[in-house]
Chain A
Amino acid sequence: MAQKLTTRGIPEGFLTRTLGRVTFHPVNGPERSDFFLGIPRQSALAPDVDLTGYAGILIETGAKHAISDAIKPVIRYDDISFIREGYILGIEPGTGQTRILYRPESGNNTIFSTGRCNSNCLMCSQPPVVVNDDGIVNEHLRLIALINDAPASIGITGGEPTLLGDGLVAILSALKEKFPNTHVQMLTNGRLYAYKDLVSKIGSVGHPDFTSAIPLYSDIAANHDYVVQAQGAFDQTIRGLYNAAEHGLGIEIRIVLHKQTLPRLPQLAEFIYRNLPFVDHIALMGLENMGYVKANWNLLWIDPVDYVGTLEDVVKYFFYRRMHVSIYNLQLCVLPPKLWAFARQSISDYKNIYLPECTKCDLMNRCGGLFLSSEARHSRGIKALRADLSSEAGAETFGAV
């Protein structure tokens, strides 16, 4: 279910951007400086508790706890009810802009490596920014240091993570060192993998469970370059994929399905099988109505119910060839039942919703639902499915579900 990830407070005494782990219980000892102590409206803290030495004190409006002016830094919020024990926050000193960087209970934690990117994809959901983010690598290393229990998986996203160069290598090394059993998936356009020294450095980190998820949008170079709005990107990505394979990196190919990628999707599938048969997984992904997609809607949008025939052919193509293939971001009701086994619950929890219609659906628990951003604009095929055999979708096969 969708979850709020950012808020803003009124800060006092923060000298620099500060990261810390939230607790609602006083902490003793030197590790106190790793913590933000939260004082909610219904605080049960003893009145004389020592508040010195924390990374910061988070105060919710209405909290009765008296705080001496000497206690710094503090930040006051209207509402911290969505912030829980163990969350890791990053707080901007001037603006009080606060972002949840890590939630222990979530399977979708990601390190937002950088806002910068060397591509400018037509359908980017997280458009790149031009920013000097020197020092961001240290923040990521600090975040990793603050995580307590090993997560099952963690993502690295952006922007384009490989722009961090050696910084990325340091992040991967830190993850391997601290959480060797945590699966790491990095979303990258793979273009800088064309440079062998970078791939070789990443390879020599020797992370036991690291996958690079790399998009490839066409078997025709100019078509791919157009979609990612970068001349020469296809060549770099292709060379990058080969370099990654040579260094034993796990590889997933990602294909976002839209008007510019669907016309040659079957040919792209064949191109991948014939030229890149070593990839571990192929993800066929529905469009997220975020970022540039809103602006490029007419250039991109095809209702999934109008392309499921092509999708079925392509899934079958990979399935016959024993290549692992998944469908991301599409709802069971827009897919023919024979594709349901390939549909994954792929939408990150904080932006995942179900529509009112979905609550009437017997398959809601199995379905990945929708993006928060698709609330108003989504496939015309969304409809509740019923487990009784009179339901039109999947009448023949539903019994096997």
Chain B
Amino acid sequence: MAFMTFFPPSHYGYGEPQDYKLLPFRFDRRKNGDYLLTNEAGEFYILSPADFDALTSHRLIPGSEQYFDLKAKHFLFDGESSALLDLLAAKYRTKKSFLEGFTKLHIFVTSLRCNQSCPYCQVSRQGEEADRGVFDMSAEVLRRSVELMLQSPAPHVTMEFQGGEPLVNFDLVKNGVLLAKELNQSRGKQIDYVICTNLSLLNDEHLEFCRAHKILISTSLDGPEYLHNKNRPTERGKPSYDVVVRNVRRAQEALGKESVSALMTTTNESLNYPTEIVDEYLRLNLGSIFVRELNPFGFAVKTAASVGYTTEEFLDFYKRILDYVIKINKSGRTFSESYASMVLAKILTPWPLGFVDLQSPSGAGIGVALYNYDGNVYASDESRMLAEVGDYTFRLGNVLENSYEELFFGETMQTIAAASCNEALAGCSDCAYQPYCGADPVRNYRSQGDIFGNRAVNNGYCRKNMAIIKHLLDLVIGGDDDLQRIFWAWINHDDVNRMGLPV
């Protein structure tokens, strides 16, 4: 006794005329005249000018491929399915869920002293022999800072040691890690440990401690010998290249290849050597490179004239590096550029990405907090660099004077938060690339004197990120299957040779 009567598609409204509403989306013209549409959940779609015109004037034909695509991707809504709106809400919630748990990255500046003297140094550094009593973190400040980190609601935090150079006083690193483990026993958080170091002072004791406590090493490598030595001389003007290379290898051997990563800072000299820089990373068997531009912070501003360049010059350099890195992957070697990997994950996945330099609400204070050697707490690394040149705008308070609530929900934090959502910033709120981009009130303040910033005039953050996001979107949209395979290997942190269908 079956029900052998079947109703036609039209009975269910399939392809039937519908009134539709537009859901929130943003758009931009592509080079060829087509429109790129993006929505809050980070989904995108391309329309011809004629179809775009039809969409916005409510003349798109129900039952056409574009109509169905735009409906399924939540660009239009025709009332046929109420569950679809809930899906959009769920997707948006998921994309923003990096906010759950609040501050995750906790930076400890255990010492301001450093044995190198890089012209672009982003922090006001002190000499290696400077007064430990003044420029190193006291036991009391260290303890209180660790307590504050553990007070963060996040179940998973990263404790990152910066400087100065953390290895000039390794006892502080050691004590910090041991203290965090001890105090965490009752809290049960997962804690990742990272030491940002130039590696020049690395010894076996450091390595043994890192191995025992699964501490990751993040170092700086600016490229081949000539370039690295020029960018990163020691205090006495001596070259630092040989020792970095030697110690990267040592650390890889002791801790495993995955535990050692490097980033490079771009100077005007670097611009001439995109392929040579990448080759240097490959030679050292590093799995990725993080290409960073000079930030207008700390000492860098003073020396901008000697090491600086325009945003356009940087972008051209960045694209040349990216092209070369893609070529390397095509030849079967897995190697990624970290910034691109993160932007691609934002474009291509439904998952959230907590990357403090490129998120909305911005990372400052919300994703990252910095405990300075003197007990001052800042909303970010850049906030403390400003303070080192005398501007305390983004100081949240002091670990010895303020409670967790005062630090993280105080007036300064409220001010930062008000300018931290690109959804609500002029020039961002209607930008097609907004779902993949971020906000940086600290940088806006530093470069334009206003935490909200002005995207219409020479805003380096905006110009750089928009250009990189656009470039990656062009590659995603126009790329062949081979490029998709490479991009997904980067996103998945997987071997590019294992990405293809198994045979």
User: Known contacts A130-B1, A322-B492: does B86 contact A222 (CB below 8 Å)?
Assistant: no
Residues of B within 8 A of A319 (CB): 501
B49 at the interface (CB under 8 A from A): no
Which of B68-76, B118-126, B194-202, B318-326 has 4 or more CB atoms under 8 Å from chain A?
B68-76
Within the assembled complex, what's the spacing in Å between the Cα atoms of A275 and B351?
A: 11
B41 at the interface (CB under 8 A from A): yes
Within the assembled complex, what's the spacing in Å between the Cα atoms of A229 and B8?
A: 9
Within the assembled complex, what's the spacing in Å between the Cα atoms of A291 and B1?
A: 12
User: Known contacts A271-B72, A292-B2, A321-B488: does B503 contact A341 (CB below 8 Å)?
Assistant: yes
Interface residues on B, range: 35 or more
Residues of B within 8 A of A274 (CB): 41, 43, 73, 91, 350
A178 at the interface (CB under 8 A from B): no
B91 near A235 (CB under 8 angstroms)?
A: no
A120 at the interface (CB under 8 A from B): yes
A163 at the interface (CB under 8 A from B): no
Within the assembled complex, what's the spacing in Å between the Cα atoms of A122 and B8?
A: 11
Min CB–CB distance A262 → chain B (angstroms): 14
Residues of A within 8 A of B6 (CB): 120, 122, 229, 296
B501 near A316 (CB under 8 angstroms)?
A: yes
Within the assembled complex, what's the spacing in Å between the Cα atoms of A129 and B2?
A: 6
Which of A223, A234, A274, A321 gathers most chain B CB within 10 Å?
A274
Min CB–CB distance A113 → chain B (angstroms): 18
B81 near A221 (CB under 8 angstroms)?
A: yes
Min CB–CB distance B491 → chain A (angstroms): 9
Residues of B within 8 A of A354 (CB): none
Among A238, A275, A322, which residue has its beta carbon within 8 angstroms of that of B91?
A275
Which residues of B63-98 have CB atoms within 8 Å of chain A's CB atoms? 68-69, 71-73, 80-84, 86-87, 90-91
Interface residues on A, range: 35 or more
Among B3, B73, B80, B349, which residue has its beta carbon within 8 angstroms of that of A120?
B3
Which residues of A219-275 have CB atoms within 8 Å of chain B's CB atoms? 219-223, 225-226, 229, 231, 234-235, 238-239, 242, 264, 267, 270-271, 273-275
Nearest B residue (CB) for A276: B87
Residues of A within 8 A of B90 (CB): 242, 275
Within the assembled complex, what's the spacing in Å between the Cα atoms of A295 and B2?
A: 12
Within the assembled complex, what's the spacing in Å between the Cα atoms of A292 and B265?
A: 66
Min CB–CB distance B278 → chain A (angstroms): 24
Nearest B residue (CB) for A223: B14
Nearest B residue (CB) for A315: B501
Within the assembled complex, what's the spacing in Å between the Cα atoms of A256 and B382?
A: 54
Which residues of B418-440 have CB atoms within 8 Å of chain A's CB atoms? none
User: Known contacts A127-B3, A235-B83, A275-B90: does B72 contact A222 (CB below 8 Å)?
Assistant: no
Residues of B within 8 A of A229 (CB): 6-7
Residues of B within 8 A of A242 (CB): 86, 90
Within the assembled complex, what's the spacing in Å between the Cα atoms of A305 and B414?
A: 61
A321 near B349 (CB under 8 angstroms)?
A: yes
A397 at the interface (CB under 8 A from B): yes
A264 near B87 (CB under 8 angstroms)?
A: no
Which residues of B1-38 have CB atoms within 8 Å of chain A's CB atoms? 1-4, 6-9, 11-16
A127 near B501 (CB under 8 angstroms)?
A: no
User: Known contacts A235-B83, A321-B488: does B3 contact A220 (CB below 8 Å)?
Assistant: no
A400 at the interface (CB under 8 A from B): yes
Interface residues of B (CB under 8 A from A): 1-4, 6-9, 11-16, 41, 43, 68-69, 71-73, 80-84, 86-87, 90-91, 349-351, 481, 484-485, 488, 492, 499, 501-503
